[in-house]
Chains A and B, each alone.
Chain A
Amino acid sequence: MKACDPNFAREIMEKSKTSLTRCFSCMTCSSGCQFQHIMDVKPHAIIRMVQTGFREEALSASGPWLCVGCNTCSTNCPNAIDIPAVMDAIRQTAIVEKRKIPEPNVLNFHNAVLNSIKRYGRTHKIEIMMRYKLIQRDLFSDMDIGLRMLAKRKLDLRASKVKELPEIKKLFNKAG
């Protein structure tokens, strides 16, 4: 096992702006989490890993990638810890360090959404789905749902666009 990183908790607290040393591992977050059963490391255990400096383990866990930020955990947390903000900080650190992403499909989806916002200033759902499916090399799953949505006119073929697009593009350039 690799050595613990004694600065990891401080690093994540600075990035997430939440005080996770308040956590006493009551597991309220995990017990209310709708998605804990598909996470390899559950929310309370992620927090514990950060507290105790298990940097490698926390940054390679699937838990943060399967967190959708619904805030159920942070609403329930008796110590008012912003757990989704911790998950954001862990994901972003993993991206910056170019680590192997444990749930690449989730990142592919986020990238497809951001690409759409960069192009149009708004999300263009049909293009997001097509791009996502192309990256995943999985064109046919969900085809039935896509067709039903098209038939119900729930997917617009044309993108709804922002007029001042350069303003939007600039935000992305500065963000790298």
Chain B
Amino acid sequence: MSAKKPVEVSYFPGCSMKTSAKENNESLKEFFNKIGIKLVELTDWSCCGSSSAHCVDTDLALDLASRNLAIAPPDKPLLVSCPSCTLRLKQAHLHISEDENLQKRFKDKWGKSFNPDLKVIHYFELLEEMDFSKLAKEIKKPLTGLKFVPYYGCMLARPPEMRHAKNYHNLLENMLAALGATPLDWGSGSRCCGTFLSVAKPEAITPIINEIIQNGINTGADCLITACSMCQLNLEIRCDLKHQIPTLHFSEVLSLAMGTNKYKRWFPRHLVDPTPLLTRLGLIP
């Protein structure tokens, strides 16, 4: 696989991946690199509007997202990793596609016609097409012994206008099980982490986060695995249980299975240290 010339995909990292969750960003690029896909960062990308713009100003939210649609290379899919950015960009693309007035607004703002064919995709959409049993034969470190609960947060929920699109329940479990890990069933995998209420209303979020982590512990998991960097941060900073378990980024675990040696830059950035667990399982020295 690595002998071939890598396929290039344009990539929208978003603010979290680029700053507070660099370990998520780096490990995602590393994993895709290992499977022959090069993520090329979208030049001069800007914030998608995050959770805040749509709360106070619908037009501003649309414009902030649409700038990124305007600067994306038209001939390649735009790959997004942050679930929240994915929703903002996909929804903006959908709204503009369906409304001539918004297409005019787009042209007035960005001096070019809206491209209805631009594909905004979450990276799960690439993973879903892979043959996991084939990948399992290529990995360097099987994830044997890694008992985890999958934490999606709100990433698989969506507005009704998008409910007929494909969805990816169980992808995390299927893929990691194929690579040797043991997913455990639990009831908290799709409970929202609280997003910005973690800042604006922390006293309400700590009990929710504690319940999620405690459910993971009660299930017998050694860790939570999530594909959202904001969830990962909230789970780490708002849990005040005496006994905690780490929350790993999905991309970190995938890269470990591929035999990466770059993890030394990632794990020191965790507030709940995953290295004792990973050492015990022999996944890192």
Contact = CB atoms under 8 A, between A and B. Distances in A.
B215 interface: no
A132 B199 contact: yes
B269 A107 contact: no
Interface stretch (B50-58, B120-128, B217-225): B50-58
Given A152-B269, A154-B233, A160-B18, A117 B160 contact: no
Interface in A118-176: 121-125, 129, 132, 141-142, 145, 148-149, 152-156, 160, 162-164, 167-168, 171-172, 175
A71 B159 contact: yes
A154 B20 contact: yes
Nearest to A128: B199
B29 interface: no
Contact of A110 (B44, B55, B63, B190): B55
Interface stretch (A3-11, A42-50, A53-61, A83-91): A83-91
Contact of A121 (B46, B59, B268): B46
A70 B201 contact: no
A1 interface: no
B51 A68 contact: yes
Contact of B158 (A71, A81, A124): A71
Contacts of A25: none
Given A68-B192, A82-B160, A149 B237 contact: yes
B199 A109 contact: yes
Contacts of A172: 60
A109 B52 contact: yes
Interface in A14-68: 15, 18, 34-35, 38, 66, 68
Contacts of A132: 199-200
Interface residues of chain A: helix, strand, loop or mixed (majority): helix
Contacts of B51: 68-69, 110, 113
Interface residues of A, number: 60
A125 B20 contact: yes
What bracket does the count of chain B residues touching chain A fall in?
35 or more
B95 to A, nearest CB: 9
Contacts of A168: 46, 64, 67
B136 to A, nearest CB: 32
Contact of B268 (A152, A155, A171): A152
Nearest to B195: A68
B168 interface: no
Contacts of A145: 237
A163 B44 contact: yes
B15 interface: yes
A38 B200 CA distance: 13
B246 interface: no
A149 to B, nearest CB: 7
A152 B232 CA distance: 14
Contacts of A85: 159
A111 B196 CA distance: 12
Contacts of A69: 51, 54-55, 195
Contact of B56 (A15, A107, A152): A107
A153 B154 contact: no
A113 B52 contact: yes
B163 interface: yes
Interface string B198-227: 011110100010000000000000000000
Contact of A171 (B63, B204, B237): B63
Interface of B: 15, 18-22, 44-47, 49-60, 63-64, 67, 87, 109, 153-154, 157-161, 163, 190-192, 194-197, 199-202, 204, 208, 233, 237, 268-271
5 contacts: A18-B160, A35-B192, A103-B201, A106-B197, A167-B67
Q: Which 9 A-B residue pairings sit nearest by Cβ, starting from the closest?
A: A70-B154, A80-B160, A70-B192, A71-B157, A110-B52, A113-B52, A75-B157, A121-B46, A123-B15
Given A66-B197, A69-B51, A154-B20, 15 more contacts: A69-B195, A70-B192, A72-B157, A74-B157, A82-B159, A109-B52, A111-B56, A117-B52, A123-B15, A125-B15, A152-B270, A155-B19, A156-B19, A156-B20, A175-B60
